[in-house]
Amino acid sequence: MKNKKLLRTVTALCAMFLALTVPMVSFAAATSDYEAQTYSDYGVYGNQNNISFAVIANGGVNMHDSFSIEGSVYSNGSINGSDGTVNGLIIGEGSIDSTVLRDGVVNDADTSAYDSYAGFTVPEGIDGVEPVDELKSEGADNLTISSDTVVNRLWNNGEPGIVIDATNNDVTIIVKEQYHHTSNTITVIGENKVNIYFAQDRYFYGTKVVSEHPENVNIYMKADTGITIFNRSNINANVYVDAPTFTLNGNSSITGNVIALGSAATISNGIINGYLYTDTLDISNGQINYIASGGAQEEPIQPQPGELGNVVKYDVAAGEYSRGTMATKMHTPDGAENAHLNYEVLDENTFEVSGPQEVSDDIKADVQLILDTVNDTFISRKADPAVNLQWWRFGRIDSNGTSMTLSITPYSYQTIQAGGVDTMWLCWGDRDTEVETVWMVVE
């Protein structure tokens, strides 16, 4: 997707999802009591006291040996912990056996996290780009890449290494066979988006990925065996993993989010400054420090309540797009137990058609991604007997609802954002089976 500076959601990536922060009340609740504890027991009501999820693990979590997690831990499976600290809540639907210092524990029976997240596929090629067999950075002769590139073998030996120049445009690099490297550096300059695909690489050894904007750099690593980042590697980028195992150790660090959908993740003497989404996690002598954007990032521009923003509207039944302006408002979900549970949303009653009506193919693709993902998520969760989904409430679905709703948005948001949509949006369901209208903020 084309990189765009858009009005973004209040809960920028991550979210992962449910970007929340709790007051630090460090105490260790008895594990036998957790079933009686709820979010409201810990003062979690509105967006001033939201929870920050540092770890989301589908299969389970094992924490031990002087670990530290800054943010909450969330899992569908069992959670075990000793000799460490979680500066947040421990939340799960399975057994929770933990003596670690934490803010509290919550039993949440609806924890089917990211059912709709599709992972990633390494592209076979790039339209209009001829593949090359080999590119090299040797010794003092650095290699600069400033346009989309497909290469079989990429060599990076010596310093200053490889420079990726994203000053004027997005850059996508596909390494189809092997990345040959010793201790080395990849430097990214510019603020545009950079995507690097390693189709058959198993490790980073002493690798440094330097970027002033790690939130704009995505590294995709695929391997049939496992992927290891070690020997003081320092990665300033979001890391996507498609492998059975993912290991971060050897005093290595990642400043960015780590998405390892189907991996057994191990962190030992390693640090993630971002969130981790994985199947299972074993952490010892390691740290995970939640950062909403996955790296140093300026506060995203947000429309204030009542402020007009530029929006595209899509009428699904008519197949028609229109452009105009739309305000925001503060919203409380239907059935919320506390009136303070509110967050900023697009106000569906304020859309007015204005200006040129041409809608680009990129914008149409983004709107279609939102539409398809929300529809697919609703259908899958409605069909799941373990989910008590009140289908007649399939009305408002907000991008900012990741923090305050448990039905649809948390299970759609990551897929939509991974597809390149990083802006505020609103879907309106027909209270039966599908979305009938989509609004999306544009430049």
d(CA 152, CA 178): 7
Which residue would you say has higher pLDDT here, 335 or 38? Answer: 38
d(CA 142, CA 157): 9
Residue 310: its pLDDT value, please? 87
Report which of 276, 237, 270 is spatially closest to residue 253, judged by C-alpha positions: 270
User: 328: which 2 tokens?
Assistant: 């925001």
d(CA 177, CA 395): 47
Residue 193: its pLDDT value, please? 93
Q: DSSP letters along 348-386, please?
A: TT--EE-S-----HHHHHHHHHHHHHHHHHHHHHHH-TT
Q: Which pairing describes strands 132-138 and 184-189: parallel, antiparallel, or unpaired?
A: unpaired
Structure confidence at residue 424 as a pLDDT band (50, 70, 90)? confident
Contact assessment for residue 424 and residue 399, using Cβ atoms and an 8 Å cutoff? yes
- Residue range 274-314, pLDDT digits in tens: 999 999 999 999 999 987 654 433 333 333 444 456 899 99
Residue 382: its pLDDT value, please? 67
Report which of 190, 231, 181 is spatially closest to residue 214, judged by C-alpha positions: 190
* Residue appearing with tokens 């993740």: 265
Looking at this protein, which amino acid is placed at residue 110?
D
- Residue range 237-253, pLDDT digits in tens: 999 999 999 999 999 99
β partners of residue 92:
75, 107
Tell me what percent of the residues of the chain surpass a pLDDT of 90.
Answer: 36
- Residue range 140-184, pLDDT digits in tens: 678 999 999 999 999 887 677 899 999 999 999 999 988 877 668
d(CA 99, CA 351): 52
In total, the chain counts a number of residues equal to 443
Residue 182: its pLDDT value, please? 63
User: 395: which 2 tokens?
Assistant: 């009305």
Contact assessment for residue 417 and residue 440, using Cβ atoms and an 8 Å cutoff? no
- Residue range 53-64, pLDDT digits in tens: 899 888 899 999
List the single range of 53-57, 405-409, 416-420, 439-443 with lowest mean pLDDT.
405-409
**Half-sphere CA count of 36, side-chain side, radius 13 A:** 5
- Domain coordinates in residue numbering, the chain: 31-107, 132-289, 309-441
CA angle at 417 for the pair 423 and 335, rounded to the nearest 5°: 75
Residue 263: its pLDDT value, please? 93
Residue 230 has pLDDT above 60, yes or no: yes
Q: Which pairing describes strands 309-315 and 435-441: parallel, antiparallel, or unpaired?
A: antiparallel
